[in-house]
């Protein structure tokens, strides 16, 4: 099947900083692709450029057959490409239901609408998204009283309320305990079963190895590895980036011995 997402020669400069340089990759429908790499490698910037939050300096992004280069985040979201931010960006004083309903009502809206008006179909879409992430029992709870996992699930529910084809997630397991990571994994596999393609930035390698079909490693704004997770952990360049030159050399020597 043809690609759902394609980045061609994507670059991004912040003054003298080359945050992204000639980034080329594709994602196939249904895939879960992981993105790793050290701090400052350009992972978040890549999501910003794809979703139109930050315009790229060069290159092209195509999503589901449409050139989305230079589109606004609202336009990109309406085409079916949703994003979950690294911080659990919620309305803390609203309930789970109200948070997700706000996402449903405002999806694609370019300016605030007051008062908040909604239709029966918006309520149904809200219930469906909350159900999919397993928060139905907590729908009426105020979000600021919930643990971090539930707040993250609220942001995922808000992102999927528009039935996206693809979801971009930035370090979703940060701050979670191992049992919470297991629960989040189950939710993401459920989304995959619903046909949602995913691009997931993550530092936690155990989570990455369990979740992804393929992994890409960014270093200093360039993709230095794109392939299977098991090949990635044996890749000399990836080892150098993660462990440093000396440790990688020692590892190579131990393999050679």
Ligand X SMILES: Nc1ncnc2c1ncn2[C@@H]1O[C@H](COP(=O)(O)OP(=O)(O)OP(=O)(O)O)[C@@H](O)[C@H]1O
Give the shortest CB-70-to-ligand X separation in angstroms: 18
Examine residue 95 and tell whether it contacts Mg ion (CB under 5 A). Answer: no
27, 31, 44, 54: which one binds Mg ion (CB under 5 A)? 44
Examine residue 7 and tell whether it contacts ligand X (CB under 6 A). Answer: no
Closer residue to Mg ion, CB minimum distance, 38 or 195: 38
Calculate the CA dihedral of residues 39, 42, 45, 47 and round it to 10 degrees. -100
Is 4 buried (19+), middle (13-18) or exposed (0-12) by CB count in 10 A?
A: buried
Helix (H, G, I), strand (E, B) or coil at 204: coil
Examine residue 19 and tell whether it contacts ligand X (CB under 6 A). Answer: yes
Considering only residues 25 through 84, tell me which ones interact with ligand X, judged by CB under 6 A: 37, 39-45
Query: How many C-beta atoms surround the C-beta of residue 52 within 10 A?
Result: 21
Q: Report how many residues bind ligand X under the rule CB under 6 A.
A: 11
Q: Distances from the Cα of 23 to the Cαs of 10, 16, 28, 59, 205, in angstroms?
A: 5, 18, 17, 8, 22
Binding region for Mg ion (CB under 5 A) out of 40-48, 75-83, 89-97, 148-156:
40-48
Give the shortest CB-44-to-Mg ion separation in angstroms: 3
- Stated as kind and residue range, the H or E segment containing 25 is strand 17-27
Per CB under 6 A, residues contacting ligand X are 14, 17, 19, 37, 39-45
């Amino acid at each position: 099947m043809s690609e759902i997402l394609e980045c061609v020669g994507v670059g991004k400069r912040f003054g003298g900083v080359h945050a992204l340089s000639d980034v080329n990759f594709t994602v196939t429908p249904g895939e879960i692709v992981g993105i790793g790499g050290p701090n400052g490698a350009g992972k978040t910037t890549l999501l910003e450029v794809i979703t139109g939050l930050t315009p790229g300096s060069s290159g092209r992004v195509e999503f589901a057959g449409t050139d989305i280069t230079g589109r606004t985040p609202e336009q990109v979201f309406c085409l079916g490409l949703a994003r979950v931010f690294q911080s659990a960006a919620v309305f803390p004083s609203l309930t789970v239901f109200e948070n997700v309903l706000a996402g449903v009502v405002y999806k694609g809206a370019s300016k605030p609408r007051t008062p908040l008006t909604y239709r029966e179909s918006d309520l149904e879409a809200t219930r469906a998204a909350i159900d999919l992430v397993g928060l139905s029992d907590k729908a009426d709870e105020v979000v600021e009283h919930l643990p971090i996992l539930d707040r993250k699930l609220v942001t995922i529910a808000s992102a999927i309320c528009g039935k996206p084809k693809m979801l971009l997630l930035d370090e979703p397991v940060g701050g979670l305990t191992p049992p919470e990571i297991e629960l989040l994994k189950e939710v993401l596999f459920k989304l995959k079963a619903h046909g949602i393609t995913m691009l997931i930035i993550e530092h936690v390698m155990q989570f990455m190895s369990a979740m992804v079909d393929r992994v890409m490693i960014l270093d200093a704004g360039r993709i230095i590895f794109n392939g299977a997770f098991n090949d990635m952990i044996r890749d000399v360049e990836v080892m150098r980036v993660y462990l440093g030159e000396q440790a990688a050399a020692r590892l190579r020597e131990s393999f050679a011995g």
